[in-house]
Amino acid sequence: MSVVPANIESETLAVGSAEHRRLLGQFFLDTHVEYVPEQLPWPALAEAELARLRSLPFWQEAVSTENVTSNTVAAAAALEADALVRKAIELQGFEEMRHARLLVALTSHYRIPVELPPRFTPRSLESDFLFAGFGECFDSFFAFGLFALARESGFFPPTLVKVFEPVMQEEARHILFFVNWVKYRRSQLPWWRRPAFRLRCAGIILKQVASRVKTARSMGKPQPAGGGSSENFTLTAHQELGTEVTLHRLLEVCLGENERRMAEYDTRLERPRLVPGIAGALLKVIPRSV
């Protein structure tokens, strides 16, 4: 894997400049990792490990989400006039498709029943891309922490952790690309259209926050028979991973993992600030015992 050097600290890059645009596309292409989901060495799992894997409630939701995200991202490449940035979005679309293929390979290998949804067709290229991107900013942040906790607790055997590690890192790249793309996209608009773009982004972020607050509020309440919804699993998963972890600890781990994963990339790229900012603010007010 070739990674753009992360030690360039002296330069700052004007968002929307030709250099920012070039770095945005090039970092993404340079850090792509080759793997073929159908050829991954799925490890043999002990009965108990298999039962734990099958008991996770999110497989169907994960397959549905990847179907929406992969088709949304692949279509959104058409938004881009710049060839390099367009190529990067096409590559992200390919990677999201690969996540969907990986889930199919995994669930069929371990005989986890899932239904393959019909191919998702986006209605609005830009709005759907923004919605999927901001959703990933939330989901990936929590997934980083949950993955680390599952690794530490041994919930996922090390062999399976190894298979999923590149997927986690790919999601870090996706959100890094996305936050820079949003700023780049806005900078390309005439000044009088920028406020409306900001408002649209704020509306989408609020929708994503509201959906996660709803899930957070339902945490701790009795679930309906059948285990309830598996949506926003990243917010409830720490209860499923067989490890005692407070919300405070979860946020701490998420922040640490987010920083560690982002540290791999060129420091001239803007870092995601929204979700780590919310998590950092929550950490200050939530007692350690919660």
Nearer to Fe ion, 155 or 177 (CB): 177
Name residues contacting Fe ion, limited to 205-244 (CB under 5 A). none
At its nearest, how many Å lie between Fe ion and the CB of residue 237?
16
Supply 47's token pair.
Answer: 């009965």
- Report 91-150 residues binding Fe ion (CB under 5 A): 96, 99
The residue among 49 and 72 lying less far from Fe ion, judged by its C-beta, is: 72
Task: Name the residue nearer to Fe ion (CB basis): 138 or 184.
Answer: 138
Write down the least CB distance from residue 206 to Fe ion, Å.
Answer: 21
Q: Residue 118, Cβ neighbours under 10 Å: how many?
A: 6
| Coil/strand/helix, residue 19 | helix
Size of the site for Fe ion (CB under 5 A): 4
Give whichever of 49 and 171 is closer to Fe ion, judged by the CB atom.
171
Residue 173 near Fe ion by CB under 5 A: no
Compare residues 13 and 269 and give the one whose CB is closer to Fe ion. 269
Q: How far is the CB of 64 from Fe ion (least distance, A)?
A: 12
Shortest distance, CB of residue 99 to Fe ion, whole angstroms? Answer: 4
CA distances in angstroms from 286 to 144, 210, 234, 278, listed in the order given: 20, 19, 19, 12
What one-letter code names the amino acid at 249? R
43 versus 166: smaller Cβ distance to Fe ion: 166
Residue closer to Fe ion by CB (options 49, 69) is 69
Site string for Fe ion, 80-99 (x = CB under 5 A): ----------------x--x
Binding Fe ion by CB under 5 A: which of 52, 98, 151, 174? 174
Measured CA to CA, the distance from residue 190 to residue 192 in angstroms comes to 6
The answer to whether the beta carbons of residues 28 and 289 sit under 8 Å apart is: no
| E-assigned strand segments in 27-84 | none
Q: What's the min distance (Å) between Cβ of 62 and Fe ion?
A: 9
Nearest approach in angstroms of CB 166 to Fe ion is 11
Rg, Å, the chain Cα set: 19
Q: What are phi and psi of 53, to 5 degrees?
A: -60, -45
Minimum CB separation from Fe ion for residue 73, in Å?
Answer: 7
Give the residue closest to Fe ion by C-beta.
174
Region of 44 please: left (phi>0), alpha (psi -120 to 50) or beta: beta
Nearest partner of 56 among 213, 227, 261, 177, judged by Cα:
227
Please tell me the total number of residues recorded for the chain in this structure: 290
Q: Strand, helix or coil at 52? A: helix
Q: Which segment (21-29, 78-86, 169-177, 255-263) binds Fe ion by CB under 5 A?
A: 169-177
Please give the angle made by the CA atoms of 183, 254 and 248, to the nearest 5 degrees.
125
Footprint of Fe ion on this chain (CB under 5 A)? 96, 99, 171, 174
